[in-house]
A and B are shown apart, each in its own frame.
Chain A
């Protein structure tokens, strides 16, 4: 079982729609959860982090965490073509030493 799992996609949504990205993790003791965006050929950039169960909103982005189900998601409202990228879910494990990444979900927003 992979430590962090994501649907590889590609996920395609029309402009203005809600994009929903999902992630599960195996380490039940994990405490910190992150979403990164990576454009092709570029480095990952941090979008959101969440530590507590529930929702956290930042502009058009909402991160959702359910520790009991070991599940974290990212919602992107009013999707724009500029949101087209690969979204990486990352989890800091119970050892708190380092961050483990999922393989990423490629999102395409069509005009």
Chain B
């Protein structure tokens, strides 16, 4: 029973390029959450999705960032025209929607050069 799968583990992009981060939730989990973590800081909530629906995107920057969780396939966090300040670890988590906490993936470390 694979856990939350994120890929790639490391991603290097030049300023102005696009970054696509993928997340496959645990089997049986239909709720996906994306968080960003800067070095020595906590996790900052970005967006909460269920299949084909964005439930809460209050933590997403208004521009350049988007997320989706299609009917088939992984959830995608997309960052357009990346800037150096986007460099961070991006964690995806999934849950069944109950109160038993989230399971996190290994994260994608994005470096913008």
Contact = CB atoms under 8 A, between A and B. Distances in A.
Main secondary structure of the interface of A (DSSP, over half): strand
Interface stretch (A12-20, A56-64, A98-106): A98-106
A3 to B, nearest CB: 9
Interface residues of B, number: 20
Given A97-B55, A98-B48, A88 B102 contact: no
A88 B33 contact: no
Contacts, number: 49
Interface string A27-64: 00001101000000011111001010000000000000
Given A34-B101, A99-B45, 17 more contacts: A32-B99, A42-B106, A43-B91, A43-B104, A44-B43, A45-B104, A90-B101, A92-B99, A97-B56, A98-B33, A98-B56, A99-B101, A101-B35, A101-B45, A103-B41, A103-B42, A104-B42
Interface of B: 33, 35, 41-45, 48, 55-56, 91, 99-107
